[in-house]
Amino acid sequence: MAAKEDLYAKVTPRRQRQSRPSTVKHGSTLDVLLSMGFPKTRAFLLIISCVLGCVICFSRLFSHVDDPFLDDPLPREYVLYLRPSGPLLQQLSHFWQQSRFSCGKNKAHNIFPHITLCQFFMCPDGKVEALSEALQATVTKWKGRIPMPLPLELYTSSTFIGLFVDEQLAEVLKHFAADFATEATAKADVHVEPHKKQLHVTLAYHFQSSHLPVLEKLAKSIDVSSGCDWLAVLFSRDIRFANHETLQVMYPYLPQNDDELELLTGDFIFMSPVEQSTASEGWVFGTSLATGLSGLLPENYVSRADESDTWVVHGSHSVLNCASPSNSGSTMGGLLFDGQLNDSLLDSLMDPSTLTGLCPPMQVSRPANQSSLSRMRLFVCRHGERMDVVFGKHWITQCFDSKGRYFRSNLNMPSSLPARSGGHRDYDKDCPITVFGSTQARLVGEALLESHTTIDFVYCPYGLMPVFRSASGLQQEGKTKIRVEPGLFEWTKWVSGTCLPTWIPPADLAAANLSVDTTYRPHIPISKLTVSESYDTYISRSFQVTREILTECKNLGNTVLIVAHASSLEACTRQIQGLSPQNSKDFVQVVRKIPYLGFCACEEMGDTGVWQLVDPPILPLTHGPNHSFNWREMLIQD
């Protein structure tokens, strides 16, 4: 336990508050994040958000996840559960709903219905994929060996109500858990302790004694013989908040004082009871899952959530049919936010001509200024939603089988992906956009067409074939080919590991019938990019390549579009306005607020060489959190 205690020691409150009226500065974002122990692999933030497919849309939880300040290798806690599905789950969900309505929330409601197969254990981020493989190997080995249905017997006492597994079959499940522990040690070098107590599904505990008759009556109405397929599911949770209460933001809130926390609808807040004594009535002190920042927030802007709403799924396999994984996307009992949040990825705008079935775009309220149309313009746009942000950094293990064949486990995943020369592991740092990310980009592409905006040149950093296929949709009548410019790549300090991603060469993109300019010679070739470059180097590189792009396009066309990263909106436009670069801390604060498909426009003021930011020709794009929907769990049948 010593190692685990050391980890918990890292997450003690950063500061003690005196009283609400006093003004307390947060300190730098770097200090806040490091004091909270964020892992180097930029753990989960989402899911968290989610997890489109889990609970909260990641693009809202982390409007920008490419932060370089999540470097503390703090492991997560993992656990293996059996989760029911089918008719039995419907009945258990109905019990959860009715017992909450009749008696209020008790401790059992913090976690969904399950059977615990092992104790919580630690696993380094780098071993998670091997751990998932250990579960899959165990399930495959046990295919057809676990009798179904599991015989369950109701047990009630004055403090506990639960469904216990028949003792003989419980021994079978314990052997299954022991085999998983062995596989986990062999493949991931972690210690897993199988659950030694009686196996059961907890229905209620820590409830008021006066509620026992009602809870017992509801429990007896559960038909334990109902059909059920049990799923072996590997979950993880952030150990920093294991003893905190989980709240969910219901309404947005902008801070009025320095010690207050900004709230985004759908975000989760972790609240420690020991930190509440200094908060004024009607206020609580908490930590945002989306930003990692702590502060005061109005109590009536949040509601109580379940602890498991912020858990991450790393593998889910049917015990009844062990041939293939079931729902193995990162669906946190709620939140999808498992993974390498700041891996380098490239995305782009989609072909607006393929857009069907959407509402007609709204017209821009600002009338076109005819005199401005002759001026040179620069548009910079952030890419669309990425697969790893929504489904976690381990989405590859969820979507590729042992032979490297891709399959999607969620409708928000592309129906197909192109093969990579280095195998599917090349997607690890060079990730595609989601279906929803494509839709986001289509909306922007259609709005540009509707505003009669002509794009003369399109520049993108390196990226995946689907990304460039999307960007190629912006060309008008085939005139505009995409120019691949490595110099537009994001701050390389935000790339995990010791090497840059493996990118698809422009010639290969063109061979795949993508409209890429193979004659274009980059201003900054890949060979000039270095891993973990300084902030000053990144800012200078971005300014240099933007200035050279504008120079080479001058007198050849009026409008240049750069589709790159959130940081590009700041890095590619600030210095051409004659402004000095911000310091790195302020830069990160600006960048993290730029959403997917964030769009900005600059215009050159005459022939002076001076540029200024102006209103874009299109309206902004805003979307909110989207929760995973499972009809078996949601549509409760009485």
Tens of pLDDT along 230-254?
A: 999 999 988 888 788 899 998 889 9
pLDDT digits (tens, 9 = 90+) for 551-578: 999 888 889 999 999 899 999 999 998 8
Average pLDDT, rounded, for the chain: 76
pLDDT of residue 573: 93
pLDDT of residue 28: 37
Percent of the chain with pLDDT over 90: 29
Burial of 212 (0-12, 13-18, 19+ CB in 10 A): middle
- If you compute the radius of gyration of the chain from its CA atoms, what whole number of angstroms results? 26
pLDDT digits (tens, 9 = 90+) for 300-347: 888 888 888 888 888 888 887 543 344 433 333 333 333 332 332 223
Architecture of domain 76-318 in CATH?
Roll (2.30)
- 121 versus 465: the higher-pLDDT residue is 121
- 219 versus 11: the higher-pLDDT residue is 219
pLDDT of residue 561: 94
**Closest to 266 in 3D by CA, of 54, 52, 58, 56:** 56
Residue pointed to by tokens 């900004």: 262
Task: Name 334's Cβ contacts closer than 8 Å, sequence gap at least 6.
Answer: 47, 50, 51, 54, 55, 56, 305, 306, 308, 309, 310, 311, 627, 628
pLDDT of residue 522: 93
CB 262 within 8 A of CB 234: no
pLDDT digits (tens, 9 = 90+) for 458-497: 999 875 444 444 454 444 445 578 899 999 999 988 887 7
Q: What mean pLDDT is predicted for residues 624-638?
A: 54
Cα 374 to Cα 210, 371, 377, 554, 619: the distances in Å are 78, 6, 9, 12, 21
Q: Is the pLDDT of residue 118 over 60?
A: yes
**Closest to 390 in 3D by CA, of 335, 459, 470, 353:** 335
Cite the DSSP H helix spans in 402-517. Answer: 435-450, 465-472, 506-511
Q: Is the pLDDT of residue 43 over 90?
A: no
- 366 versus 593: the higher-pLDDT residue is 593
Q: What mean pLDDT is predicted for residues 612-624?
A: 84
Q: Is 386 a catalytic residue?
A: no
Q: Domain locations in the chain?
A: 30-64, 76-318, 377-614
Annotated catalytic residue within 83, 114, 382, 394: 382
Greatest Cα pair distance in the chain:
85
Q: Is the pLDDT of residue 74 over 90?
A: no
What is the CB neighbour count within 10 angstroms for residue 372? 12
Annotated catalytic residue within 60, 314, 383, 424: 383
pLDDT of residue 625: 58
pLDDT of residue 479: 59
Q: Is the pLDDT of residue 56 over 60?
A: no
What is the rounded CA–CA span in Å between residue 248 and residue 269? 6
pLDDT digits (tens, 9 = 90+) for 268-298: 999 988 888 777 878 899 999 888 888 999 9
pLDDT of residue 242: 78
pLDDT of residue 126: 80
Q: Three-state SS for 188?
A: helix
Annotated catalytic residue within 17, 565, 574, 592: 565
Q: Is 394 a catalytic residue?
A: no
pLDDT of residue 276: 80
pLDDT of residue 463: 59
Q: What share of the chain is helix, strand, coil (3-state, %, to 5)?
A: 35, 15, 50
pLDDT digits (tens, 9 = 90+) for 135-190: 999 999 998 788 888 899 999 999 999 999 999 999 999 999 999 999 999 999 99
Task: Name 594's Cβ contacts closer than 8 Å, sequence gap at least 6.
Answer: 63, 64, 382, 566, 567, 569, 570
pLDDT of residue 448: 87
DSSP string of 196-264, one letter each residue: -S--EEEEEES--GGGHHHHHHHHHT--TTS----EEEEEEE-GGGTTSEEEEE-S-B--SSTTB--B-
Q: Is 382 a catalytic residue?
A: yes
**Closest to 77 in 3D by CA, of 308, 335, 347:** 308
Q: Is the pLDDT of residue 122 over 50?
A: yes
pLDDT digits (tens, 9 = 90+) for 193-244: 999 889 999 999 988 888 999 999 999 999 988 778 899 999 998 888 878 8
Q: Is the pLDDT of residue 600 over 50?
A: yes
CB 532 within 8 A of CB 492: yes
Residue 356 — pLDDT band, cuts 50, 70, 90?
Answer: very low
**Chain centroid to CA 141:** 32
What is the rounded CA–CA span in Å between residue 169 and residue 344? 47
pLDDT of residue 445: 85
Architecture of domain 377-614 in CATH?
3-Layer(aba) Sandwich (3.40)
Q: What mean pLDDT is predicted for residues 92-118?
A: 87
Q: What mean pLDDT is predicted for residues 248-273?
A: 89
Residue 348 — pLDDT band, cuts 50, 70, 90?
Answer: very low
Percent of the chain with pLDDT over 70: 74
pLDDT of residue 424: 82
Q: Is the pLDDT of residue 624 over 80?
A: no
What is the rounded CA–CA span in Å between residue 604 and residue 335? 44
What is the rounded CA–CA span in Å between residue 503 and residue 562? 18
